[in-house]
Amino acid sequence: MILSKMTFAVALSGVLVLSACDTVTDPNNPNRNAQTAAIVGAGLGAAVGIARGDSAGERNRGAVLGALVGAGLGAGVGTLLDRQEAELRQQMGSNAQIVNTGSQLIVTLPQDILFDTGSAALSGGLRSDLNALAASMNNFPNSTVNVIGHTDSDGTAAFNQDLSARRAQAVSSVLIQSGVSANRIRSIGRGEDAPIASNLNAEGKRQNRRVEITITPNG
């Protein structure tokens, strides 16, 4: 009985997650992530409610209550991310790439503008963007921020790891100086371990040299 309830619950959550992907697909919809999060939250909440019920009546009540709670929590997170994404797109320059995954924002900045070759000292190129990013973080304070440095494969792995860590720390320091609580920020160096393009050509290397700032709501 427990296994069958869990199997049905997992199947239901999977169906609703797929429904979210199929029904909320318009990239021009400013509320797409809130709607997706609500659907997914409802599905997962309903699945939990079903799995915890020992009778048909309890499973039905659990599904309804779980769906309502899950939808509310999911929509809340999605709405906040949609609002912050819109604010960042308005305030940050065209050099910043902003991706809203529905559960977090990923802001990518090219290291070639942030730093000189081989240096962890910030240049003036994107300081205004970092200040705008910090202001948005302060407007939406209930989140955790990871600042992740990446390099291409030129040089030794040890040098790239150290350089990426120092560059991530430099960006984190600007955000903290701009008023973002240090307790919210974690600085991470990934070196050459997470490329997004080929390191066999100049364009690919340029894309791999980057700093990613992930903003994840706390709940």
Helix (H) or strand (E) holding 105: strand 105-110
Q: Note the helical H segments in 104-194.
A: 111-114, 127-139, 157-177
CA distance 38 to 56: 25
Domain boundaries, the chain: 2-21+31-85, 104-217
The CATH homologous superfamily of the domain defined by 104-217? OmpA-like domain (3.30.1330.60)
> Model confidence over 17-75: pLDDT tens digits?
454 455 444 545 555 554 555 454 455 454 445 555 566 665 555 545 444 444 444 44
Dihedral angle over CA of 158, 164, 165, 171, nearest 10: 170
Q: Is the pTM of this model over 0.85?
A: no
Q: Can you tell me whether residue 67 is helix, strand or coil?
A: helix
Question: Which pLDDT tens digit goes with each residue over 121-175?
Answer: 998 777 889 999 999 999 999 999 999 999 999 999 999 999 999 999 999 999 9
